[in-house]
């Protein structure tokens, strides 16, 4: 029996679908409340972020509030008139060591000048940074906000502690997780075995994040590595303010667990020697080195490519970042042992003359049309035409 839809029910359905006037107002009010929350959230986020323009505007307001000229403020601070002018335009920042003095002149806190609260910045400005990082946990978020104000060596100190705190947190969470699992385990009854009994026990070395002789940490720590990845990925914005020595330390101590977030993001700020060493290690472990090679010198790339070829490893990833002449040398070596098929990856990165030389050698060795065809897109037009003529005469 079909259900009869009354006119009242139909109107109710239509009003619900189209937005009944009685509900429309409440919906609009709800939308306004949501927008206010979003705007407030965005404003808070902006306030939490450091802005030189905002600092400059604040300095200008405070100076004018004291009825001082830029020249008078410059004299009190022991800086040039141009320096104060640049501060107020947001083109530069007062040195962090000058912030306490500037705050005293205006009778305000450093936080008010910067437009954000940062104990990390305050401790650095007051010369007690090492004491602060020793007694407090440094989060990536806090460091990212403060890094633009800190000096490179101060960033190094704070970042080193942030990495240590990240590792410590990951180890504590891993330990707590294991304790929880152990506490939840019960003896099997009636001959039943638990799922845990069926699993192969991991070795102690895999449950920790030990440091080796070179300071590197185990890559076998399972979920722990993921926790560390999450923590360290938050430090990427800080790297540009740190010294290469500090970035080297991170790559050396926890380079293995950075694969998930991209070693290249760290390598661009590391020293040449550290990048080279990291590429060598990753290559031996069949890791992805493509994100590292753009930050290496051509000569170093060529050196590592030759090592890889000697060890029977693939050199394809190295080729785009090598000198054409070096690519040609590797291609000739590969040609001697593997013939035409082995040099296919090299051709796009070789000098045209070297390509022509190998093409002629292939022709002399009885190469087929298919073999010769591989060279043509990478040869000089005249050489390509000459090669085709020679092939047709055979």
327: confidence class by pLDDT, cuts 50, 70, 90: very high
What percentage of the chain has pLDDT greater than the value 90?
39
Q: Is residue 185 part of a domain?
A: no
Q: Are residues 47 and 93 in the same domain?
A: yes
Q: Is residue 205 part of a domain?
A: no
Q: Is residue 11 part of a domain?
A: no
Q: Are residues 383 and 261 in the same domain?
A: no
Q: Is 366 left (phi over 0), alpha (psi -120 to 50) or beta?
A: left
Q: Are residues 173 and 264 in the same domain?
A: yes
The residue out of 117, 149, 166 marking a domain boundary is 117
Query: How confident is the model over 148-156, as a mean pLDDT?
Result: 94
pLDDT at 261: 52
Residue 232, Cβ density class (10 Å: 0-12 exposed, 13-18 middle, ≥19 buried)? buried
* Rounded-to-integer distance, Cα 260 and Cα 160, Å: 20
pLDDT at 62: 97
pLDDT at 353: 92
* Rounded-to-integer distance, Cα 352 and Cα 382, Å: 11
- Identify the top-confidence range among 190-199, 258-267, 321-330: 321-330
Q: Any residues with CB less than 8 A from the CB of 109 and at least 6 apart, and which?
A: 103
Q: Is residue 21 part of a domain?
A: no
pLDDT above 70 for 41: no
pLDDT at 235: 81
Among the residue ranges 28-32, 88-92, 165-169, 175-179, the one predicted with the least confidence is 28-32
Q: Are residues 140 and 237 in the same domain?
A: yes
What percentage of the chain has pLDDT greater than the value 70?
72
Q: Any residues with CB less than 8 A from the CB of 85 and at least 6 apart, and which?
A: 70
Q: Are residues 290 and 162 in the same domain?
A: yes
361 in Cβ contact with 336 (< 8 Å): no
Phi, psi dihedrals of residue 80, rounded to the nearest 5°: -80, 160
Q: Is residue 152 part of a domain?
A: yes
Q: Are residues 270 and 388 in the same domain?
A: no
Q: Are residues 233 and 292 in the same domain?
A: yes
Q: What is the CATH number of the domain that holds 88?
A: 1.10.260.40
Q: Is residue 83 part of a domain?
A: yes
Confidence (pTM):
0.63
Q: Are residues 165 and 279 in the same domain?
A: yes
109 in Cβ contact with 75 (< 8 Å): no
pLDDT at 323: 93
134: confidence class by pLDDT, cuts 50, 70, 90: very high
* Rounded-to-integer distance, Cα 60 and Cα 53, Å: 11
Structure tokens at 318: 């190295």
Residue 377, Cβ density class (10 Å: 0-12 exposed, 13-18 middle, ≥19 buried)? exposed
Average pLDDT, rounded, for the chain: 78
Question: Quick one: how far is CA 349 from the chain centroid?
Answer: 28
350: confidence class by pLDDT, cuts 50, 70, 90: very high
Structural domain count, the chain: 3
pLDDT at 26: 53
- Give me the DSSP letters along 293-357: GGGS-HHHHHHHHHHHHHTT---TTTGGGS-HHHHHHHHHHHHHHHHHHHTTTTGGGS-HHHHHH
Q: Are residues 174 and 112 in the same domain?
A: no
pLDDT above 70 for 370: yes
* Cα-based angle 331, 335, 336 (whole degrees, multiple of 5): 125
From the list 57, 161, 133, 68, the residue with the least C-alpha distance to 107 is 68
* Rounded-to-integer distance, Cα 231 and Cα 279, Å: 23
Structure tokens at 30: 């709800």
Find tokens 């802005």 and name the residue: 51
Under DSSP, the state recorded for 376 is G
Q: Are residues 229 and 277 in the same domain?
A: yes
Q: 276 is in which domain, residue-wise?
A: 127-178+214-296
Q: Is residue 347 part of a domain?
A: yes
- Identify the top-confidence range among 36-40, 174-178, 231-235, 314-318: 314-318
The residue out of 245, 267, 296 marking a domain boundary is 296
Find tokens 């002789």 and name the residue: 213
pLDDT at 163: 86
Q: Is residue 193 part of a domain?
A: no
The residue out of 239, 262, 296 marking a domain boundary is 296
pLDDT above 50 for 313: yes
User: Which tens digits make up the pLDDT trace of 53-102?
Assistant: 999 999 999 999 999 999 999 999 999 999 999 999 999 999 999 999 99
Structure tokens at 328: 């040609």
121 in Cβ contact with 150 (< 8 Å): yes
Q: Any residues with CB less than 8 A from the CB of 384 and at least 6 apart, and which?
A: 375, 376
266 in Cβ contact with 240 (< 8 Å): no
Q: Are residues 287 and 253 in the same domain?
A: yes
pLDDT at 231: 61
Q: Are residues 161 and 237 in the same domain?
A: yes
As a residue count, the chain comes to 394
Query: How confident is the model over 357-377, as a mean pLDDT?
Result: 88
């Amino acid at each position: 029996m079909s259900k009869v839809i009354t006119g009242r029910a139909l109107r109710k359905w239509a009003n619900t679908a189209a937005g009944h006037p009685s509900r429309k107002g409440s919906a609009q009010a709800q939308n306004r409340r949501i927008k206010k929350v979003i705007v407030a959230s965005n404003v808070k986020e902006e306030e939490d972020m450091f802005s030189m323009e905002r600092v400059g505007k604040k300095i200008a307001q405070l100076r004018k509030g004291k009825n001082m000229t830029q020249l008078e403020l410059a004299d009190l601070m022991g800086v040039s008139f141009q320096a104060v002018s640049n501060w107020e335009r947001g083109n530069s920042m007062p040195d962090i060591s000058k912030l306490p003095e500037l705050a005293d002149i205006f009778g305000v806190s450093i936080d008010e000048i910067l437009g954000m609260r940062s104990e990390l910045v305050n401790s650095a400005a007051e010369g007690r940074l090492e004491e602060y990082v020793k007694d407090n946990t440094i989060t990536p978020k806090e460091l990212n906000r403060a890094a633009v104000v800190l000096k490179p060596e101060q960033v190094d100190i704070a970042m080193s502690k942030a990495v240590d705190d990240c590792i410590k947190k990951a180890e504590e969470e891993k330990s707590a997780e294991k304790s929880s699992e152990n506490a939840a385990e019960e003896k099997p009854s009636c001959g039943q075995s638990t799922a845990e009994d069926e699993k192969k026990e991991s070795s102690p070395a895999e449950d920790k994040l030990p440091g080796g002789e070179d300071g590197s940490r185990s890559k076998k720590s399972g979920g722990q590595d993921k926790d560390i990845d999450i923590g360290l990925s938050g430090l990427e914005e800080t790297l540009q303010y740190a010294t290469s020595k500090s970035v080297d330390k991170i790559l050396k101590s926890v380079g293995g667990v950075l694969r998930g977030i991209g070693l290249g993001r760290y390598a661009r700020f590391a020293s040449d020697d550290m990048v080279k060493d990291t590429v060598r290690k990753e290559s031996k472990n069949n890791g992805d080195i493509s994100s590292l090679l753009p930050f290496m010198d051509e000569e170093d790339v060529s050196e590592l490519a030759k090592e890889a070829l000697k060890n029977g490893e693939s050199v394809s990833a190295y080729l785009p970042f090598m000198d054409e002449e070096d690519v040609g040398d590797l291609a000739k070596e590969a040609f001697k042992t593997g013939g035409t098929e082995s040099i296919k990856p090299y051709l796009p990165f070789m000098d045209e003359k070297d390509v022509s030389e190998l093409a002629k050698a292939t022709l002399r060795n009885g190469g087929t049309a298919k073999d010769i065809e591989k060279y043509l897109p990478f040869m000089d037009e005249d050489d390509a035409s000459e090669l085709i003529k020679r092939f047709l005469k055979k």
